Amino acid sequence: MNKSDLEIEKQEQILRGKRIKHIRENELHMNKTQLAKEIGISSQFLGLVEEGRGNLVYRSIKKLRDLSGHSSDYILFGLDDTIINKTKKLLNVYSDKEIETAISILKSIAVFIKN
């Protein structure tokens, strides 16, 4: 890894910590001790994670995901996960056959655009 990659990784770690802190304070309404206990880490380590000086392991991310309702992609990378729920709601009014037909049409359109 070069210096630029390390700087980017550090910046992502800081942003990830801020997201986790936001989830804890504003959505779960928990203190550090409460959330740490729920996801299986110490409150001191959670503090380091929220400050951007530590990373959660898979097991803790999974527990936070299950607890918060956010996707791992949102927790780790900040990717918008509201689109998943919006899409599910929109697609609930269609049958599987209608969705399969729409996907087939979209694939045909994509091939047409590429050519």
Spell out the residues 6+ positions from residue 54 whose beta carbon is closer than 8 angstroms to its own: 17, 45, 48
Spell out the residues 6+ positions from residue 99 whose beta carbon is closer than 8 angstroms to its own: 91
In tens, the pLDDT along 17-49 reads 999 999 999 999 999 999 999 999 999 999 999
In tens, the pLDDT along 53-94 reads 999 999 999 999 999 989 999 999 999 888 877 888 888 999
What DSSP character marks residue 82?
Answer: H
